[in-house]
């Protein structure tokens, strides 16, 4: 079996074409992510409602509703392998995701709108889920955040990931402003149980929170440790109607398992 090791802004995945195969995806996620140190595992499957189906699993073998950078990477995988064209639809547990190829390495996806949204779930910490059932995110500002601060913030990130205020657990997104059009973000992810170099749904969730607070208009640059993502959104009356995530993808290595 051919396995593609790829990443989106440093968020890395082991990817296979599983169409027509009967496999234990959870066990494969554990095995393959240990092999490469990847954050997650993705399998392409057939779909009756989209161009293809995405099965997403975290490195610990748990199934995830969706993954923003994973969706961008799976769109490149699908295009490179002749599974879909430059514009495509992806069936995920969180709903249908639309993807677009912008160039050889650059892809964007239209993420699911928030299904759950609470700007003050735990004090000033916001909580939202993208999709239904959605990917859970906690969002909090950490003024002056630097990448070097991650060890000092680890205990707080881990505690919030399991906080009872977030019944599904949460990906914890800590951000700071760099300028009026750019934020820096650090995400402690459930299922990985550590920081990741980038989190697509986390970046988008943070921008949604800032938009709802009236702090951003339609577009924001999000600097993750592994690379830069761009989030574009539109909506009115406090309701998001379109949410796009754009950024780089990279093929790192191919494995024969």
Closest CA to 110 of 234, 251, 248, 8: 234
Catalytic residue among 33, 67, 73, 75: 67
Q: Phi first, then psi: give them for residue 69, nearest 5 degrees.
A: -70, -35
199 catalytic? Reply is yes
Angle between helices 68-80 and 200-212 (to 10 degrees): 130
Residues 254, 35: contact at Cβ < 8 Å?
A: no
75 catalytic? Reply is no
Residue 74 to residue 60: CA distance in whole angstroms: 20
Q: Which residue has the tokens 């923003």?
A: 68
Give the rounded distance of the alpha carbon of 35 from its chain centre. Answer: 21
Catalytic residue among 33, 73, 75, 199: 199
Catalytic residue numbers, as ranges = 67, 199
């Amino acid at each position: 079996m051919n396995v593609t090791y790829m990443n989106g802004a440093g968020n890395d995945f082991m990817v296979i074409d599983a169409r027509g195969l009967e496999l234990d995806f959870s066990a494969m996620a554990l095995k393959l992510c240990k092999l490469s140190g990847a954050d997650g595992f993705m399998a392409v499957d057939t779909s009756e409602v989209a161009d293809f189906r995405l099965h997403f699993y975290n490195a610990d073998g748990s199934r995830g509703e969706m993954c923003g950078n994973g969706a961008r990477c799976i769109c490149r995988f699908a295009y490179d392998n002749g599974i879909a064209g430059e514009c495509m639809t992806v069936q995920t547990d969180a709903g249908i995701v639309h993807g677009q190829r912008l160039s050889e390495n650059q892809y964007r996806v239209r993420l699911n709108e928030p299904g759950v949204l609470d700007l003050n779930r735990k004090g000033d910490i916001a909580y939202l889920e993208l999709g239904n059932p959605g990917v859970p995110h906690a969002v909090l500002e950490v003024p002056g955040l630097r990448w070097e601060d991650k060890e000092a913030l680890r205990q707080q990130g881990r505690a919030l990931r399991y906080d009872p205020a977030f019944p599904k657990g949460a990906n914890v997104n800590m951000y700071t402003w760099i300028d009026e059009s750019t934020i820096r973000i650090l995400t402690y992810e459930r299922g990985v149980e550590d920081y990741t170099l980038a989190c697509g749904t986390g970046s988008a969730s943070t921008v949604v929170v800032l938009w709802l607070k009236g702090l951003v208009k339609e577009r924001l640059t999000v600097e993750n440790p592994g690379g830069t993502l761009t989030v574009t959104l539109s909506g009115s009356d406090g309701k998001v109607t379109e949410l796009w995530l754009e950024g780089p993808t990279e093929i790192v290595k191919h494995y024969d398992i």
